[in-house]
Every structure is written in C-alpha cells, then in structure tokens.
Amino acid sequence: MHHPAISIKDLHVSYYGNEAVKGISLSVQPGNLIGIIGPNGAGKSTFLKAVLNLIPKDKGTIHLFGSSIQEARRKIAYVPQRNDIDWDFPITVLDAVLLGTYPNLKLFRRPGKKEKIWALECLDRVGMKDFSKRQIGELSGGQQQRVFLARALAQKADMFFLDEPFVGVDVSSEETIVKILKELCWHGKTVVVVHHDLSKAEEYFDQLILLNKELVDFGPVSEVFRTETIAKAYQGQFAFMKEIGV
Amino acid sequence: MEFIEAVFQYEFLQKALLTSIMVGIICGVIGCFIILRGMALMGDAISHAVLPGVAISYMLGINFFFGAVFSGVLTAIAIGFVSQNSRIKHDTSIGIMFTAAFAAGIIIITLLKSSTDLYHILFGNVLAVRSSDMWITMGIGLVVLAAVYLFYKELLVTSFDETMGAAYGLPVRMIHYFLMTLLTMVTVASLQTVGIVLVVAMLITPAAAAYLLTDRLSIMIFLAAGIGVISSITGLYFSFTYNLASGAAIVLAATALFILVFLFSPKHGLLWKMLKVRKKRASLV
C-alpha cells in the first residue's frame, strides 16, 4: 500500500491561547510541488513548522510516508526563511552545503572527501560552484538562497520544505530554484513551499494549500486558483486581486 | 628575561603559567560558540551564577566543582524557563536570574565569615594556585576540549541554523544545556586565574578578536585559543613583574589584542575598511 507523503488530521496550533492554525486536515501524494499561500498572518510558516514538529501543536496527528515525524526526520530537508540566518557567521559556501551531509553522518564522524565531492556537485547544480570558498554573507540574496537549496539537495531527502524561498531573490535565481524544485518532483520527491506572491503561484505549483488560519481550500492549482476561493482567503483585498489579474 | 628565569625557578609560577594557558585555551574555544550564538550576556550570567554553588561546596567541604556546575546549570534552566513561559525577553530574564544567584552567593559567603575566600573567587589570584587547583583546571580543560572536538558537527549546526538541526532530529534544547554545562565548567576552571567577575572577558574578547580575523569557524576556534593563551602569558608577566591583580592584567592584555585586531585586521579591520572606502571614492572623482 502506498502511503501519502504527508497526511495531516485535525491540526491545531496556538500561541498563548490564540489560535494560529485551526483544524487542518489534508493529505499530499508524493511527487507534487505544493504551494502554501495565504495573506500575511495566515499562519503559513506556523503551519509548516507545526507539520515538522518544530513547534508544539495543541491537537492533531501528522504522518510523513505513513510514519511519525521522528522516524521520518532523515528524509526531510528544511530551508528556513532568509532572515532567520546570521549572514555574518564565519562559514564558507562549501561548509554551509556540507552541513547538508551531517544528517547522514554517524555521531563523531566528520565529512570527508566523499562528502566534499557531493557538496560540490550540489553547488554545481544550483550554479554556485565557483563561489564555494566565499563567506556566505558576501553573496547576493539569490545566491544565498541557491546555496541553501544546495544544502537541502545535499541531504538526499525525499521531502523538501522551503519557507518563503523567493523573498529578496533575483529573477534568474528564482527561475533556477523553481526549475530544480520541479526536477525534484519529477523524480518523485515531494516539495512544499511557503509562498507569498500570488502572481506566480499558478505557474509554479501543482497543488495549492490556501490558508487563512483555517484551510480555505486544497487541491490542484487550477481548482484552487479561482477568484472566489482566493477572495475568501484574502477576505476582500480586491484592489490587490485586480492588480495581479485574478 | 627575568620572568622566564623566575618561571624556571619558582614552582608556583609554573603552576600559574600552566593553569592560565589552559584557561586561555578553553575560554577561547567555548567563547567562539558563545559569541556566535549571541549569548555573550549568558556567558556573563552563568559565570556569576556559579558563586552560590562554590560557596555551598565550601560549606559542605566538597569539591567546589560540583556545586558550581549545579548552580550554573540550574540558573541556565531558570533563565530559559522564565523567558519561554512569559513575555519577559531573554536578556531581562538573564538579568533577573543571575543577579539573584549572585546575591544568594554573597549572602552564603558572608555566613561563612571568610572574606578572603570571597575576594579570591571574585577576582582570582593565579599566583596562589595550588597543585590540586591546577589539576582540576587541566582535567576540566581536557574534558571541554574533547567535548567540543567530538560534538563539533552538532555545535556548528545548532549555532548556525538551529531550525535545520531540529528539523533533521538533533536534540537542540539538550545541546543548548550541554553547552551551558561546558560554559559552567570553563568558569570553574577559570576561577583561580581571572575570577568570576572577569571570566566573561576571557570568553568573549579573544573570540571576538578571532571573529574579526577569519571567515571559518574551525580557524576562529584556533585563533581564539591562541589569543587567549597570549593574553594569559602577557597578563601573568605583568602581574608577576609589577605586582598587579592577575585576572585584571590578563583581561587587559586580551583587550589590547582585541583593539589591535579591531584596527588592523586584514579583512574586517577598521583601518582597512576606511582605506577601501577612500580608494573607492577617489576612483569616482
């Protein structure tokens, strides 16, 4: 029997009694590129973090590939929001990507030649091999995001979670990132992206999770991306809607 | 020269030298993680918080190492508990908890009625290091260095991107308290050399100087240890030659090195940056 990549039942999350995520149930099949969209404060990042058990939940069950998160951890790669990172940290691009090999290294083991070659391959894939010796703060926003994608690739994960990967990223980096995410899905990986920009959503994703604390809609992009559903989530921010031509 | 002769001649000076070299190394190493995690204030707090533990250990007649680690780690937990379970911010929580621990320590020590002990604990006196103290410092030093060597991967990931660590299953909370335990041990090891009040300088200043010199953590750790050692030896020299308080002399040596690096570091130094700006502006004229 095939397990869904992600299966969530009745997920509730709150901060000091204020509900941020209310009763979300959904299940996602492997090989899909999924966008989480919704207005500011809709709990998109909270939802993502709760799914990965990085913050405590009030209620609900989550299974990844039919097993608990603790059992599935090694199959997950997570890319944080850009402003969660200290870009002055004394670490080079190559060393940052090498962190991606850590989950598969045994305790007390250091990354060796094999891991370095693999990390360089991952950097090559995102077009950042020539920058391997730079300190991460010396890169542009788009380059930094590509390095973090390379780190996720280095994890050899089955599931990728990216929190707002296109914020502060130039157009060509965004294209590179999207291309790689789509390739991952063709190879049967599951990719979940928190996304703030509605204009590209239709182009990028196979499925959308439309959130506004509650699950407003979930399904194939063509079904979710309709004026009335989007309007329901964004609760009448119509000026904005017209602008992007929904 | 006289200093070197004296080192060969006097056993107490040899002990002082070995102890302060070890303190320079481990403070530098742990200090790197402390400043990269933005925990400089936490370092100050934990070092002060060992006082009640040390005092109680004296009272009970047990080795002060155990009491110090106990009260240090307990304070770290209390700080975390308050900031996580209320709207109190982390630095405020640190301020509340470490002063409470420190005050409790002072009260306990006055009950002991031995103010010389208090003075030595607070400010250190490396020239009075006994063999047993030296061995404790050496032992703690080796344990701390081994711990950092063995768990380097985990310390690096959680310092750089804690969420990633948590996402792939690292016990990040435990690693935090593990580091707090190491920090407490380093403080205890430094008691005789620089004293509680100034330990934080040995943790932060050499590491901060190293941070301005390199863009790689592994190199930063070695540089910080090196700067720590040079500070210790220089400070000890001045302390011995001019009869100055050892802790203060060592700390000022570290500060002097930091100022040098701050001005002249090849990449991040102030002078270099100013030159680059001037060159750029000149090219635009």
What number is the average pLDDT over the span B63-74?
88
3-state secondary structure of B60: helix
| C-beta atoms surrounding A127 within 10 Å | 15
Instruction: Write down the ipTM of this complex.
Output: 0.89
Among A110, A191, A97, residue whose Cα is nearest residue A152: A97
Please tell me the least confidently modeled range out of A50-59, A74-83, A203-212, B53-62.
B53-62
Q: Binning pLDDT at 50, 70 and 90, where does residue B6 land?
A: confident
pLDDT of A214 reads: 87
pLDDT of B28 reads: 97
Q: Binning pLDDT at 50, 70 and 90, where does residue A243 land?
A: low
Residues of B with Cβ-Cβ distance to A108 under 8 angstroms: 150
A100 to A58, A71, B149, B275: CA distances (angstroms): 31, 18, 19, 38
pLDDT of B172 reads: 93
In whole angstroms, what is the distance from residue B21 CA to residue B279 CA? 42
pLDDT of A102 over the 90 cut: yes
The predicted-structure confidence for A160-183, as pLDDT tens digits, reads as follows 999 999 998 999 999 999 999 999
The conformation of residue B86, written as its DSSP 8-state character, comes to: S
Beta strands in B116-274 (DSSP E): none
pLDDT of B116 reads: 58
Contact A99 B211 (CB under 8 A): no
Mean pLDDT of chain A: 89
Q: Binning pLDDT at 50, 70 and 90, where does residue A222 land?
A: confident
Instruction: Give backbone dihedrals phi and psi of A190, rounded to 5 degrees, phi first.
Output: -110, 130
Q: Binning pLDDT at 50, 70 and 90, where does residue A138 land?
A: very high
pLDDT of B149 reads: 96
In whole angstroms, what is the distance from residue B227 CA to residue B208 CA? 10
Residues of B with Cβ-Cβ distance to A96 under 8 angstroms: 160
Hey, CA dihedral for B228, B234, B239, B245, is it positive or negative?
negative
pLDDT of B283 reads: 87
**In A, what residues contact B, Cβ < 8 A?**
52, 54, 70, 73-74, 76-78, 80, 84-86, 89-92, 95-96, 99, 102-103, 105, 108-110, 135, 151, 155, 161
Q: How far is A75 from chain B (nearest CA, A)?
A: 8
Hey, CA dihedral for B269, B272, B273, B274, is it positive or negative?
positive
Q: Binning pLDDT at 50, 70 and 90, where does residue A239 land?
A: low
Concatenated DSSP letters of chain A: -PPPSEEEEEEEEEETTEEEEEEEEEEE-TT-EEEEE-STTSSHHHHHHHHTTSS--SEEEEEETTB-HHHHGGGEEEE--GGGS-TTSS-BHHHHHHGGGGGGSPTTPPP-HHHHHHHHHHHHHTT-GGGTTSBGGGS-HHHHHHHHHHHHHHTT-SEEEEESTTTT--HHHHHHHHHHHHHHHHTT-EEEEE---GGGHHHH-SEEEEEESEEEEEEEHHHH-SHHHHHHHHTS-HHHHHHHT-
B214 by Cβ neighbours in 10 Å (0-12 / 13-18 / 19+) ranks as buried
Question: What percent of chain A is predicted at pLDDT more than 90?
Answer: 63
Contact A78 B215 (CB under 8 A): no
Q: Does residue B35 contact residue B204 with C-beta atoms inside 8 Å?
A: yes
Q: How far is A213 from chain B (nearest CA, A)?
A: 23
Please tell me the least confidently modeled range out of A72-76, A85-89, A141-145, A199-203.
A199-203
Beta pairing partners, A67? A64
Q: Binning pLDDT at 50, 70 and 90, where does residue A42 land?
A: confident
Residues of A with Cβ-Cβ distance to B223 under 8 angstroms: none
Beta pairing partners, A208? A35, A219
Range with the largest mean pLDDT of A218-222, B143-147, B273-277: B143-147
In whole angstroms, what is the distance from residue A205 CA to residue A212 CA? 19
Of residues A241 and A192, which shows the higher confidence score?
Answer: A192
Range of the domain at B86: 2-284
pLDDT of A184 reads: 95
Closest in A77, A91, A161 to B160, CB measured: A91
Contact A73 B150 (CB under 8 A): no
Q: Where are the domains of chain A?
A: 6-244
Beta pairing partners, A12? A59
pLDDT of A220 over the 60 cut: yes
Residues of B with Cβ-Cβ distance to A89 under 8 angstroms: 36, 159-160, 217
Q: Given the structure tokens 């620089």, which residue do they identify?
A: B194
3-state secondary structure of B133: helix
Closest in B164, B214, B219 to A99, CB measured: B164
pLDDT of B115 reads: 58
Beta pairing partners, A64? A6, A67
Q: Does residue B262 contact residue B227 with C-beta atoms inside 8 Å?
A: no
B1 by Cβ neighbours in 10 Å (0-12 / 13-18 / 19+) ranks as exposed
Residue B245's contacts (CB-CB under 8 Å, 6 or more residues apart) are B123, B124, B125, B239
pLDDT of A230 over the 90 cut: no
pLDDT of A242 reads: 54
Q: How far is B29 from chain A (nearest CA, A)?
A: 14
In whole angstroms, what is the distance from residue A69 CA to residue A72 CA? 5
In whole angstroms, what is the distance from residue B135 CA to residue A133 CA? 41
pLDDT of B114 reads: 64
Contact A73 B168 (CB under 8 A): yes
pLDDT of B85 reads: 87
Mean pLDDT of chain B: 91
Amino acid at B78: A
CATH fold of A6-244, please? Answer: Rossmann fold (3.40.50)
Q: Binning pLDDT at 50, 70 and 90, where does residue B284 land?
A: confident
The predicted-structure confidence for B79-113, as pLDDT tens digits, reads as follows 989 988 888 998 999 999 999 999 999 898 888 76
pLDDT of A1 over the 70 cut: no
pLDDT of B126 reads: 85
Closest in B150, B161, B216 to A85, CB measured: B161
pLDDT of A241 reads: 54
The predicted-structure confidence for B190-236, as pLDDT tens digits, reads as follows 888 888 888 999 999 999 999 999 999 999 999 999 999 999 999 99
Residues of A with Cβ-Cβ distance to B150 under 8 angstroms: 108
Count structural domains, chain B: 1
Q: What CATH number has the domain bearing residue B116?
A: 1.10.3470.10
Closest in A70, A78, A89 to B164, CB measured: A78
Contact B167 A85 (CB under 8 A): no
pLDDT of A107 reads: 86
